[in-house]
Structures are given as C-alpha cells and as structure tokens.
A and B are shown apart, each in its own frame.
Chain A
Amino acid sequence: EAQVTQNPRYLITVTGKKLTVTCSQNMNHEYMSWYRQDPGLGLRQIYYSMNVEVTDKGDVPEGYKVSRKEKRNFPLILESPSPNQTSLYFCASKPGHPRLAGGFGELFFGEGSRLTVL
C-alpha cells in the first residue's frame, strides 16, 4: 500500500529534550516536506526536500533540522524543543519535477504527529 508513515503519532516531552520525528514514504517520491498546523494559522511549511541531499527552508524553519540521506526518509529533528513547538506535524511527499515550474503531482500526507512540549 502506497503511504507516508510518521512516527511517533503522539508524543509528550519536556523542554530541551532532543527528539526526532521520522517520516518514510514507499512511493519513490523525489519531493518531501514537513508542515506544522496550528489553530488559526493553517499549514505552515517547515522544511522541504526536492531530492536526496537537497533540502531547503520553508516558512518556519527556526528550531528544526532535517536531513535527506535516502530518498524514502525525511526525519524532522528538534534539537532543543520549546513549548511553542507544541503542534500537529505532517510529513508529505509527491513526485517531483525539479526542472519544471508547477509542482505537479498529488501531495500525499502522513497521518500526523501530535507533539506536546511541556
């Protein structure tokens, strides 16, 4: 089954304790992205990756890191989480056409990871 898998789905942690949210897709997609969703603010992009070893900042990258060592995986790292990073996080992927403007392809989302930082 084609899917994007995120783990953990739910996490409560404390300020400053490093954590990683994993994301894996089995559709051989070039493009992957992380979003956070907060009430009244909608989906905001944190980081995205057009392909292996190619990552770029989205709208709200502060406090986050990512890596794209393999095509299927795109982990989100919070080195020192703070309470303002309490949010619902979504990973997504789609076929990428880096040389074409347009962003073709349906964006497939993981089920989300609800993170609470105390």
Chain B
Amino acid sequence: RKEVEQDPGPFNVPEGATVAFNCTYSNSASQSFFWYRQDCRKEPKLLMSVYSSGNEDGRFTAQLNRASQYISLLIRDSKLSDSATYLCVVNSPGGSQGNLIFGKGTKLSVKP
C-alpha cells in the first residue's frame, strides 16, 4: 500500500459547486496532516493544516479520521480560481522525524 494515496481526478465541476477530495495514509503513527495547493507549473503552497477536530478556513473544510486513516478536503461554492492540483501531505514518523510525504495530487478544474 502506498504511503499517501489520492484520487488523481481530474474533477471537473461548475462554478458554485461543492467538491470533496479524500486522501488515505498508511502509517497510523503519522501525526501531522496538511493540504497543499499547486497551480500549473508553480511551486506547491500550504492551503491548510488538518487538525484532529476538523477545521475550516472560509470555503475550505478539512477533516481527519484517524481510525480509518483518511483526510478530506471540502471546497464549497467553487471559484474559477480554485482550479489547481491539491496535494495531501502527511508526516513520516519514526526514523525520518519531521519528514513529509506527498500524495500525487488531485486535479480540480472549475468551469464557468
């Protein structure tokens, strides 16, 4: 099983739609979880951290389910500017303390 898995998409949605991405991770000892956003040919940038109780930042909601080892990102009222690739990121515990593992990303395309 790969360490961090995401549906590659693409997700093609109309403006205003609600879209959800899921991500699963393999190491139950992981403790830090993040969603990064990457625009085409640009560097990844942190979108939001994911906390155990779930957290919200405007139209974005992140949730963590430790029992099932998955993380989700919900985007409400999609905007054209949300079009990007969303990367699920999990820390690698144990020997590589502080190291982060990236999923391959889920591509989102928001259409007018």
Chain A contacts to B: CB under 8 angstroms: 31, 33, 35, 40-43, 45, 48, 50, 56, 58, 88, 90, 96-104, 106-107, 109-112
Contact = CB atoms under 8 A, between A and B. Distances in A.
Interface of B: 29, 31-32, 36, 41-46, 87, 89, 91-94, 96-105
A98 to B, nearest CB: 6
A101 B97 CA distance: 5
Given A43-B87, A103-B32, A56 B96 contact: yes
Contacts of A31: 98
A102 B43 contact: no
A16 to B, nearest CB: 28
A interface secondary structure, majority? loop
B99 A107 contact: no
Contact of A97 (B36, B42, B96, B98): B98
25 contacts: A33-B100, A35-B102, A40-B104, A42-B103, A42-B105, A43-B102, A45-B99, A48-B99, A50-B98, A90-B43, A97-B97, A97-B98, A101-B93, A101-B97, A102-B93, A103-B32, A103-B91, A103-B92, A103-B97, A104-B98, A106-B46, A109-B44, A110-B43, A112-B41, A112-B42
Contact of B43 (A33, A104, A106, A109): A109
A101 B102 contact: no
B42 A111 contact: yes
B101 to A, nearest CB: 8
